[in-house]
Amino acid sequence: MQAMAIEQQGWTVACARSDLVANSGVVAWVEGVQVALFYLPDGEQVFAVENRDPLSGANVIGRGIVGSLAGDLVVAAPLYKQHFRLQDGTCLEYPEQVLKVWPVRVSGDVVEVYLGG
């Protein structure tokens, strides 16, 4: 019941928990926004970042490889291989490229994203 209350304040169901792929990404369509969801079973972490790759203009970030560089969890964009930090969406190679990131949580069987109030 608590979850329902928060959902009304901006949390939206993105997909089923079983839709996530371990150590990889999937893309959900959340209120007209393309959200890439990455799931790392080690520490049960989920990240929600913008699916649009600013360099190519294509919606492909969710199909990048997840990795760790100098302690940061990152995703490598699949077309030109630049790296974005999953934590805050900053790009390691091009500071002017930033991906939006959203709070995300696993709530029972579903994954929820906080797109803003």
Partner 1 sequence: MNSTNERQTLVVIGNGMVGHHCVEQLVERGALAHYRIEVFSEEPLRAYDRVHLSEYFGGRDAESLALGEAGLYQTPGVTLHLGVPVLEIDRARNEVITANGCVPYDHLVLATGSYPFVPPIEGAAGDSRLVYRTLADLDTIQAAAKNARRGVVVGGGLLGLEAANALKSLGLEAHVVEFAPRLMPVQLDDNGGQALKARIEALGVSVHLSSGTQSITPGSDYRYRMNFANDEFLETDLIVFSAGIRPQDALAKACELDLGARGGIAIDSQCRTSDARIFAIGECAAWNGSIFGLVAPGYQMARSVAAQLCDAVGLSDDSAVPFLGADMSTKLKLLGVDVGSIGDAHGATAGARSYRFIDEATSTYRRLIVSADGKQALGAVLVGDNSYYDTLLQYVQNGIALPADPATLILPQGSAAPALGVDALPATATVCSCHNVSKGAICCAIDSGCSDLAALKTSTKAATGCGGCAGLLKQVFEHELSARGVAVDKSLCEHFAYTRQELYSLVRVGGIETFEDMLARHGKGHVGCDICKPAIGSILASCWNRPIQEPWLVPLQDTNDTFMANMQKNGTYSVVPRIPGGEITPDGLIAIGAVAKKYDLYTKITGGQRIDLFGAQLHELPDIWGELIAAGFETGHAYGKSTRTVKSCVGSTWCRYGVQDSVKMALFIEDRYKGLRSPHKLKFAVSGCTRECAEAQSKDVGVIATEKGWNLYVSGNGGMRPRHAELFATDLDDQTLIRYIDRFLMLYIRTADKLQRTSVWRETLEGGLDYLKAVIIDDSLGLGAELEAQMQLVVDRYECEWANALNDPEKLKRFRTFVNAKGGDPDIHFVKERGQIRPMQLDELKLISAVEVV
Tell me which residues touch partner 1 (CB under 8 A): 14-16, 19, 21-24, 26-30, 34, 37, 40, 42, 52, 56-60, 63-70, 73-74, 76, 78-79, 81, 83
Q: Between residues 52 and 100, which has the closer beta carbon with respect to partner 1?
A: 52
Min. distance of Cβ 23 from partner 1 in angstroms?
Answer: 4
Q: Between residues 52 and 105, which has the closer beta carbon with respect to partner 1?
A: 52
Q: Between residues 1 and 43, which has the closer beta carbon with respect to partner 1?
A: 43
Q: Which residues pair with 13 in a beta bridge?
A: 112
Residues 6+ apart with CB under 8 A from 12: 30, 31, 112, 113, 114, 115
Q: SS3 for 90? A: strand
Sheet of strand 104-107, all strands in order from the earlier edge strand to the far edge? 11-16, 110-114, 104-107
